Structure 1
């Protein structure tokens, strides 16, 4: 999953209602005539960030040598590293150690973080030319080096956030039903990944048994057959869930999810998956069939009778001769075929015999010889006939098609003398049929209620309106100040500086206010805003002498 760059909500609002805070910092060349020009601020900002990264760092001339040691936290399992530049990119919780050597004696050396946090360095030699300090970073921002009041450029601090583990369950499906005759087992396959390593992962399983108020829940943890001591960043795991060993019975449901923990104790859990065992005893009950909305009773009872006779055939198999067993199995297959054809009529399927027998015999009458109209009527489906049109919804049609497929599979095995293999398909067809029956139920309101007759002529315009008064709502609206007014004004002021015009005291105050807003954004997202802050502060330093302002800083 690709994560887009996150922008603060207040910046997003500004991009809609004004020229944009980034626009006046990075794209003033394009908006010198019209500050409402459309642009892509993130793209421009990233481009300037790459240009600034390519430039060498500007350090104070009093600094002879410096080094920065980065010690990553333990959860990353990375070794320490050193660099000779002030801009730093480190992991969340990393320890930074600065060592600065000056070419002359310095009274005080400090680091200024985000314009308000000050960290003093400690002198390690009597000459006060060697200084060092440490700090643990927990957020991004920027900082400066202060040597006896002389402040350096802005240096970026980028914190690499530790992301939680990612869980991707590949099998089974979110909802799985195990029908009669199928193995009461399911294979769980999942992929785990993390940026630094996974410490633990397990399956949280809950079994629900019973129904109504008598339902019971049993929760347990299932471990994978993998040792996580190596703390790898990726795992391909699988585990077979044996429902019998878990104590599940027909009608019970298994709810489970996978939970993973990384080296930084961040936890992630997957979505809940459901595995249920079909209750064949409930399918064979007649209670749900005896209701006033049983529109197709004969169709919904035939599949149950086929199952009963198939199970009876299996019980009597040892006492029957082979010929008798095959004959009864084939007869059951024929009954299954008739049932399948009757349901096929709901979907507009044809009879497998190639036409209606009665209509075919009627064509043999010598009086109908060369009667093309009667022949056409006998072998043509009149789909434009309103009586033949189907009123079934698409979802119902799809379930009917699935039912016919199960019936066909059961018929195939009954015709090949394999009634034991036909039972799972017959049970599944019956379950689909019962689901269809539940969906076919409808509610019809009673029409026998009698309502008192109204008297509009006598009652009209006779109500008492003396207690009805006009509503009075009073609300004080406070005028809201525009937080981005100074930004729009700054865009115009920078355009004036670009043309060589000077600024007054009011304009200088607006620039200082904008500098504070820009610095607060740079502290939260230095990779985007820090180059603009650096240019803006150079402009402020030379605002009284517009000729000394670099055109590149304004652009």
Structure 2
């Protein structure tokens, strides 16, 4: 029963799709020929084979159960029991299944096959018959000749030579692998260094035949029996005209074009590694390199791998060059070169680089072209520098411009407090001291805005340098100065001003040597004391902001003190207050200047919104100046649209000179020259003038943008002006 349903559905689908496929194949056969029609027929058969199974999916077991229940009411909607295993049914279900089977066998089976799609089938076959009939009666297209005919600019005059046959042979260079070709057209496109051979036949025979090139060169053809032949190596693109003796004026042939295709250098692409810089991993023993080389006519089978190893650091760097020859794999036009380098074989050490690049040649003769790939670098990172204790070691590990922020110091301190139960005492003290060093660096950075001097340790006893800012020469005074500083450090309590704010009284102490410049304030300060203020930095902040920053530095002092003593929990309150004060400084005015309000002239209220338009007139914009040297383009644009023949000839000569001097500005100079020649040969040719005018327009400089004039028939603007002119309108 189910098989009959599937057969009916498949036949119905094919009866609708097959006539459509036949009609399409008939149309393709008439328009494109037998081969496209066969290809389309194969595609149509494949499409029919794909559509039929898709439509059959609808007619499954569930569809069959629904149709049985709908067709036979006496089955009590229990036809689904027929498709269930009896072992899975209960006693009542088995009894019902027996009744359903008896009722089905006791009468004829219902017709479950779907009806034929008669309307769709009739429409499909009717349209198919019409398409096949139209394709059969439609005339077949005429095949065009493979070789273009030699155009004649004008009918030949009796007695003048007339070109009967023309053949142009192109012999590309042997290294390109391109076969020689022949064409009846006198236009050609060939690789550079190709040999061109012309064979022409005239009736009646002229006395001589020449090829006249657009740059003035001439090539005479030699007579061989009834043919005229000549050969020429193609070195650059050019235009030429065939000029037989005895033909002048309009009877001459048009310009023909020879395009010389240059041989491009090889294109090298690095496949592996994907990045130009590769850091050598721990345990890495080799370095894989893979290059892909493409060329239009062929790549040499061998290539050179240039490997350079750098030695030394800083300015003392030397280079060692190595060369390896690689064999390529693949087609002659596309080859791959692969190698695995062992860095130890080149003596690579830590802190050094291994630079590799591939050098390839193409097979151009006699001089091949050379190309190099981008450089790829294998770097073996140097050993990390483990610095000494304190600030010097820390400065070697990070760049001097990198400082931790106050918020980061708070985050580090809170993280350290949370990890304290899991850390050893020595590790906890070390990390707390490191955070204190970060706090110190940040304090010194902000202290520069207040003129705070840089800090450093005391000089050793054997040093000749002074241990304080006092001038050297009196050890007693120096010792007194140190005791004075120690008193400040010992007497400082939390919350008291930091040493950068105290007022030294060193100036004027007895026993100091005389100043270098008598009476100079700067020399007196330099000789008898040390300043705590940098004028260029301190004057950037107003007094209130300076006091806020000074308070932040005091809190940083206390935070640093407790961090260096391995007490981050006691340092957090000071760190938070320092952060709050720094935010206030960032939001404050940074430059202290006297604020002066703007003084604008008073506004005359009587002249506002008066609506008077006296004295307002249209001002015509001046004509944009023509770019210097481009007058020939503008004149040619105007003369090509005019009917003056003498003006056109003069403008074409000027345009020819402009093209010769501006070849870098035009995309295709030869196309310009050919169009100029066509317009010069036949000035009345409208299509020739239009084509040349289009080229001239593309070469003209773009005018500068101007102001668009407002449309005069704008209804909104007109209503607005009428409302202003209306009597009684409020002004």
1:154 maps to which residue? Answer: 255
Q: 1 CA distance for matches of 2:172 and 2:363?
A: 13
Secondary structure, aligned partner of 1:245: helix
Q: 2 CA distance for matches of 1:112 and 1:247?
A: 65
Count of aligned residue pairs for this structure pair? 327
Q: Does 1:540 align with 2:540?
A: no
Q: 2 CA distance for matches of 1:534 and 1:64?
A: 24
1:523 positional shift: 12
Q: 2 CA distance for matches of 1:531 and 1:256?
A: 45
Match for 2:377 among 241, 249, 274? 274
Query: What are the equivalent positions in structure 2 for 1:356-505 lying under 5 Å apart?
Result: 356=418, 482-497=628-643, 502-503=644-645, 505=646
Match for 2:358 among 251, 258, 281? 258
1:203 maps to which residue? Answer: 305
2:339 maps to which residue? Answer: 239
Match for 2:167 among 61, 67, 79? 67
Secondary structure, aligned partner of 2:652: helix
2:430 maps to which residue? Answer: none
Q: Does 1:118 align with 2:118?
A: no
Q: 2 CA distance for matches of 1:294 and 1:285?
A: 9
Higher RCO, Cα 8 Å, sep 6+: 1
Shift in CA distance, 218/87, structure 1 to aligned 2, threshold 3 Å: same
Q: 1 CA distance for matches of 2:413 and 2:199?
A: 88
1:449 positional shift: 11
Q: 1 CA distance for matches of 2:636 and 2:337?
A: 57
Q: 2 CA distance for matches of 1:213 and 1:541?
A: 70
Q: 2 CA distance for matches of 1:156 and 1:447?
A: 85
Match for 1:552 among 650, 671, 687? 687
1:114 positional shift: 1.6
Secondary structure, aligned partner of 1:63: strand
RMSD: 4.3
Secondary structure, aligned partner of 1:512: helix
Instruction: Tell me if the contact between 2:639 and 2:647 (Cα under 8 Å) persists in the aligned partners.
Output: no
Q: C-alpha offsets along residues 343-396 of structure 1, whole Å, 9 cap, x if unaligned?
A: x9679699999x94899xxxxxxxxxxxxxxxxxxxxxxxxxxx9xx99xxxxx
Secondary structure, aligned partner of 2:634: helix
Q: Does 1:91 align with 2:191?
A: yes
Instruction: Tell me if the contact between 1:114 and 1:519 (Cα under 8 Å) persists in the aligned partners.
Output: no
Q: 2 CA distance for matches of 1:100 and 1:511?
A: 31
Shift in CA distance, 447/193, structure 1 to aligned 2, threshold 3 Å: farther
Shift in CA distance, 105/187, structure 1 to aligned 2, threshold 3 Å: same
Instruction: Tell me if the contact between 1:515 and 1:537 (Cα under 8 Å) persists in the aligned partners.
Output: no
Instruction: Tell me if the contact between 1:205 and 1:221 (Cα under 8 Å) persists in the aligned partners.
Output: yes
1:519 positional shift: 7.0
Q: C-alpha offsets along residues 464-484 of structure 1, whole Å, 9 cap, x if unaligned?
A: xxxxxxxxxxxxxxxx99432
1:528 positional shift: 4.2
2:349 maps to which residue? Answer: 249
1:253 positional shift: 1.6
1:66 positional shift: 1.8
Shift in CA distance, 511/174, structure 1 to aligned 2, threshold 3 Å: closer
Match for 1:183 among 275, 284, 296? 284
Shift in CA distance, 238/81, structure 1 to aligned 2, threshold 3 Å: same
Q: C-alpha offsets along residues 434-467 of structure 1, whole Å, 9 cap, x if unaligned?
A: xxxxxxxxxxxx988999xxxxxxxxxxxxxxxx
1:513 positional shift: 2.6
TM-score (norm 1): 0.51
Q: 2 CA distance for matches of 1:133 and 1:55?
A: 21
Q: 2 CA distance for matches of 1:482 and 1:345?
A: 63
Secondary structure, aligned partner of 1:156: strand
Q: C-alpha offsets along residues 157-211 of structure 1, whole Å, 9 cap, x if unaligned?
A: 11111111111112222111214x3213211122111111111422100112234
Instruction: Tell me if the contact between 2:169 and 2:197 (Cα under 8 Å) persists in the aligned partners.
Output: yes
Secondary structure, aligned partner of 2:636: helix
Secondary structure, aligned partner of 1:196: coil
TM-score (norm 2): 0.39
Match for 1:58 among 131, 134, 151? 151
1:112 positional shift: 0.9
Shift in CA distance, 450/484, structure 1 to aligned 2, threshold 3 Å: closer
Shift in CA distance, 521/58, structure 1 to aligned 2, threshold 3 Å: farther
Q: 2 CA distance for matches of 1:450 and 1:349?
A: 32
Shift in CA distance, 351/533, structure 1 to aligned 2, threshold 3 Å: same
Secondary structure, aligned partner of 1:256: strand
Q: Does 1:222 align with 2:324?
A: yes
Q: 1 CA distance for matches of 2:241 and 2:531?
A: 83
Q: 1 CA distance for matches of 2:265 and 2:149?
A: 35
Q: 2 CA distance for matches of 1:524 and 1:159?
A: 20
Q: Which runs of 5+ in 1 are unaligned?
A: 1-52, 301-343, 360-386, 392-445, 452-479, 544-548
Q: C-alpha offsets along residues 219-277 of structure 1, whole Å, 9 cap, x if unaligned?
A: 111222437xx871112332111111222233332111111111121111122221122
Shift in CA distance, 358/231, structure 1 to aligned 2, threshold 3 Å: closer
Shift in CA distance, 217/448, structure 1 to aligned 2, threshold 3 Å: farther
Secondary structure, aligned partner of 2:637: helix
Q: 2 CA distance for matches of 1:112 and 1:79?
A: 28
1:423 maps to which residue? Answer: none
1:63 positional shift: 1.4
Shift in CA distance, 124/206, structure 1 to aligned 2, threshold 3 Å: same
Q: C-alpha offsets along residues 122-166 of structure 1, whole Å, 9 cap, x if unaligned?
A: 1112xxx31111101111121100101533101111111111111
1:321 maps to which residue? Answer: none
Shift in CA distance, 105/201, structure 1 to aligned 2, threshold 3 Å: same
2:235 maps to which residue? Answer: 138
Shift in CA distance, 109/449, structure 1 to aligned 2, threshold 3 Å: farther
Q: 2 CA distance for matches of 1:233 and 1:186?
A: 27
Shift in CA distance, 345/78, structure 1 to aligned 2, threshold 3 Å: same
